[in-house]
Structure 1
Amino acid sequence: MHAVTSRAADELTVEFAGEEFPVAPGTVFSVGREGDLAIDDNLFLHRNFLTIQHVEGLWLLSNVGSRLTATVTDSGGRVQAWLAPGARLPLVFASTSVIFSAGPTTYELTIHAAEPAFRETQPEAEDDDGLSTIGDVPLTHSQRLMILALAEPVLKREGTGMSELPTSSQAAERLGWTLTRFNRKLDNVCDKLDRIGVPGLRGGVRSYATNRRVRLVEHALAARLVTRDDLPLLDLEHDLVAEEEA
């Protein structure tokens, strides 16, 4: 582990679980079960999954794995990319979040650039017209609760790191819902996001039921569909259902 006190103008810093790792030009920084950032001994995770290196004036993030994908977003959740095996993209923002899952575990790390190629501007204030659109996708209250129940362990975590995602049964129990109701909401949200082009929410018969939950959480975190501020809604829903059944 490295303690970082300052950064050179052309240096990146990778932050994970409260630790910071400097990346200097002329080196290849690797992330996976092994490498410069050995994040976990999870056998679902590639030994070498992601690399960061400086090429012809640009910092590049590359997926060198064969199965796993990563969701990459700017710190404000306004720009999102899906990094598939063999793909690479430039790191142009001051702060870039990288979210990925291996088996039931979801990981998040942040990459900080001392001299980003892209400078963010302050967005104009939105009109308060009483309408609510979450991450450019209108969600019903119950759909938002469903996502919250799946993302709760990640949202409760302080900063970057890793979290075990609940099963559908565990998430349904957290809300006080039946599993049938929960799965119906999950189907509806995945269909809605799939129609607007969010990748990874549809797949083969064997992989779809498992992979869509973790992919939904990755997208929800990157697009800020839910945040830590929403977590009290889970207890409110559980108590409301309990009162109705009493």
Structure 2
Amino acid sequence: MTTPDQSKVTVEFCGEWYEVPRDRPFGIGRDADLEVDANPFLHRRLLEIGCINDMWLLTNVGSRLAVTVTDRGGRMHSWLAPGARLPLVFEQTVVVFSAGPTTYEVNVHLSEPLFGELGGQTSSGQTTIGMTEFTESQKLIMVVLAEPMLLRDGSGRSDVPTNTKAAERLGWALTRFNRKLDNVCDKLDRAGVKGLRGAPGDHAMNRRARLVEYAIAARLVTRADLALLDQPQEA
């Protein structure tokens, strides 16, 4: 039987691979072992991967930003708040986080996973999460905001479009787009998704970036959904 102390962890970002040492924490952030971006909204050191008591752990060492962690298929997802840690147990763990208007994806690979792939996904037409269903227009909201991230080659970064740009992309009136966006965020908030109901002083871009972060990580939208944007839309 494989034991955790035999496993190795590698991190992939934008086609670059990094092997995580066992004798010290591996940092991810603006100024860390993995330098994600010079984005001033990003912590100098947001995440750490380390081996403690023969268990690989992912820790959010930032003070403000939370991250979304999922398995490769998006069937398990967790909200990792500042100060929280999570064991790495899958062959591939997808880590998605937003800083300002930009969303990033980092893939963490475990050579000897404690758990195998989760069961296959099925689709019945409408997008669902728990007991929440999304209409076609609500699905379009998520796709159009996530379009830059879905178009990227491999993992990396994307800037989330403004409401005005997204509405123009769909050919919708801005008021209709804003109303639909409110509906999507309200549904996900009721389903327990954090960060979509803005607190006083929060910027609208934070809500859009968080929506993209969650939709990508939970596989509510995929690259295959981009074809929906080329279909005729009602104004």
For Structure 1 versus Structure 2, the TM-score category normalised by the shorter chain is: over 0.9
| C-alpha contact (below 8 Å) 1:201/1:208 kept by paired residues | no
Give a deviation string over 1:71-116, Cα, whole Å, max 9, x none: 0000011111111111111111110000001111100010000001
Instruction: Give me the whole-angstrom Cα distance separating, in 2, the residues matched to 1:121 and 1:168.
Output: 35
1:165 counterpart residue number: 160
Which residue in the other structure is 2:38 paired with?
41
Q: TM-score, normalised by structure 1?
A: 0.88
For the 8 Å contact 1:62–1:86, the answer to whether it is kept is yes
Residues 171-182 of structure 1: pairs in structure 2 closer than 5 A: 171-182=166-177
SS in 1 for 2:201: helix
Identify the residue that residue 213 of structure 1 maps to in structure 2: 208
Q: Partner of 2:126 in structure 1?
A: 132
Give, in whole Å, the separation in 2 of the partners of 1:176 and 1:57. 54
Aligned partner of 1:5 in structure 2 is none
1:65–1:232 CA distance, 2 compared to 1 (3 A) = same
Deviation per CA, 1:184-219: give whole Å up to 9, x if none: 000001111111111111131321523211111111
Larger Rg: 1
Quote the RMSD (CA, aligned, Å): 1.8
Greater length-normalized contact order (CA 8 Å, ≥ 6 residues apart): 2
Deviation at 1:134, TM superposition (A): 3.3
Match of 1:145 among 126, 129, 140: 140
1:21 aligns with 2:18: yes
Aligned counterpart in structure 1 of residue 193 of structure 2, from 198, 203, 220:
198
5 Å-filtered alignment, 1:1-246, equals 9-123=6-120, 132-136=126-130, 137-207=132-202, 209-237=204-232, 240-241=233-234
Deviation at 1:159, TM superposition (A): 1.4
Q: CA deviation at 1:176?
A: 0.5
| 1:131-163 deviation digits (Å, cap 9, x = unpaired) | 534344311000001111100000001210011
Distance 2:29 2:217 in 1: 20
Q: Is the 1:135–1:224 Cα contact (8 Å) retained in structure 2?
A: no
The residue identity in structure 1 corresponding to 2:126 is S
Q: Any gaps of 5 or more consecutive residues in structure 1?
A: 1-7
How far apart, in 1, do the equivalents of 2:6 and 2:182 lie? Answer: 46
Are the structure 2 counterparts of residues 121 and 227 from structure 1 closer, same or farther at C-alpha, using a change threshold of 3 Å? closer
Q: 1:4: which partner in 2? A: none
Secondary structure, aligned partner of 2:134: coil
Q: 1:226 to 1:121 in 2, by over 3 A?
A: closer
* In 2, Cα distance between equivalents of 1:162 and 1:51: 19
Q: Aligned-pair distance for 1:122?
A: 4.0
| Separation of aligned partners in 2, 1:109 and 1:120 | 19
Render the CA deviation track for 1:53-87: whole Å, top value 9, x for unaligned: 00011111111111111000000111111111111
Contact 1:10-1:24 at 8 Å conserved across structures: no
CA distance in 2, matches of 1:228, 1:204: 31
